A = this chain, B = another copy of it.
């Protein structure tokens, strides 16, 4: 009998890490120019005439949408399990709250490498980036959902955030890749990391019948799906350039997601039992278009390009749920509770490739009319950041660096996931025995007089007969 007691482990980890955060924040983290009370002087010095120019007003609405995606989106998406609703939404809450704190530090340290005073300056864009990092952790959580203890999740989070920041620094700062919505940085990274972890934690005796939904848990899950789906345009445009960059990112993602819905339902019905639609596909594959638009969303992809990417992503993602996931489990021993391989890994890959191609195909004409008194290529320069360290880079070179970033991301996420997986395998973290996987009662006080107990029965206690009336 495993000891799944959390009385000392979980509080210890939570309290110590929170204490560490407080100390580190005290040493390193400060308000940035736009959130500090000295903003009034910044305005004067930089000749800013209005408070509305504060970055807060450019990004805060998008930040709040992203915030909803992290906590309600991811949290409720995972409530599809019939007896794991508390864990889905509650552990999501816990590890996201920890990850955003740790991400502000890790991302800040890497960013502040380029600056001098050793302090991390935070503003609304930092909050968005921290939420993005948390998204990556929650994606990995989807792979191990129901099979790990909260302490394991906290340990996983601390490592994943760290590696995330490393990978992000390498591909965005060193390689100069563009990835505003994180097809690579967030989705591929989180997914391959999580898949590696769950592979290492493989449980051969696991009864997958508990990895199932009931009617109303599927509807709860749709709350998560829809908030993710609706706010994805904000996700992909949240940290893009002011003006047309954010505007275009939202439009492309909007179009891509709409196309995903149609192809998802088409493939689900075409290949499902008796032509019926499967809720698992609707809950997940409809989002593939958002994932796949993460890199190219802010680029001049054109709206029909976005539709094509969305349509393809929805199709492939649904096919993944139908055919690939069972194979991965059977042959590669990857037990992927939420199917993140289909929702994040493959669409993330698609997004990374689309981004590389779109970057490589960028031309002066598309990004600038090239007026005499306007720098030729200037918008290209702004969009792709061909400035400073990357001055003089050409679009085709950029495409190459995008592709290189894809490879770096794959490498770091898989290697990191394997190592972290072995750390999580240590028998000290209170993981649940096989027979208690996908059940809340291991780690949560579950109401006694509840439907929860009814849900345990399999098949259900009451079967309606053919005319719809039940007989006990």
Contacts and interface: CB of A to CB of B under 8 A. Distances in A.
Given A10-B275, A304-B29, A450-B460, A34 B374 contact: no
Given A35-B251, A212-B449, A454-B470, 6 more contacts: A8-B270, A21-B307, A71-B226, A97-B261, A124-B251, A277-B444
A463 interface: yes
Interface in A303-347: 303-304, 307-308, 311
Given A266-B10, A378-B40, A52 B51 contact: no
A183 B90 CA distance: 26
A265 interface: yes
Contacts of A223: 72, 76, 223
Contacts of A414: none
Contact of A247 (B17, B34, B79, B266): B34
| Interface size band for A | 35 or more
A219 interface: yes
Contacts of A468: 456-458
Interface in A35-91: 35-41, 43-44, 50-58, 60-62, 64-65, 67-68, 71-72, 75-76, 79, 82, 85-86, 89-90
Contacts of A123: 247, 251
B266 A369 contact: no
Nearest to A382: B40
Contact of A366 (B37, B383, B470): B37
Interface string A206-219: 00000011111011
A366 B38 CA distance: 8
24 contacts: A5-B275, A7-B269, A11-B266, A14-B265, A15-B266, A30-B303, A34-B244, A39-B247, A44-B374, A54-B242, A56-B243, A57-B57, A67-B233, A76-B223, A82-B447, A90-B282, A97-B261, A124-B250, A215-B447, A215-B455, A276-B445, A277-B444, A448-B459, A454-B464
A127 interface: yes
A101 interface: yes
Contact of A244 (B22, B36, B75): B36
Given A67-B230, A89-B226, A247-B56, A303 B457 contact: no
Interface stretch (A174-182, A193-201, A252-260, A418-426): A252-260
5 closest A-B pairs by beta carbon, nearest first, are A7-B275, A457-B470, A39-B244, A25-B304, A51-B243
B85 A215 contact: yes
B258 A445 contact: no
A258 B56 contact: no
A15 B262 contact: yes
A176 B90 CA distance: 40
Contact of A101 (B39, B67, B255, B302): B255
A205 interface: no
B6 A275 contact: yes
A18 B259 contact: yes
Contacts of A246: 56, 60
B214 A450 contact: yes
A37 B459 contact: no
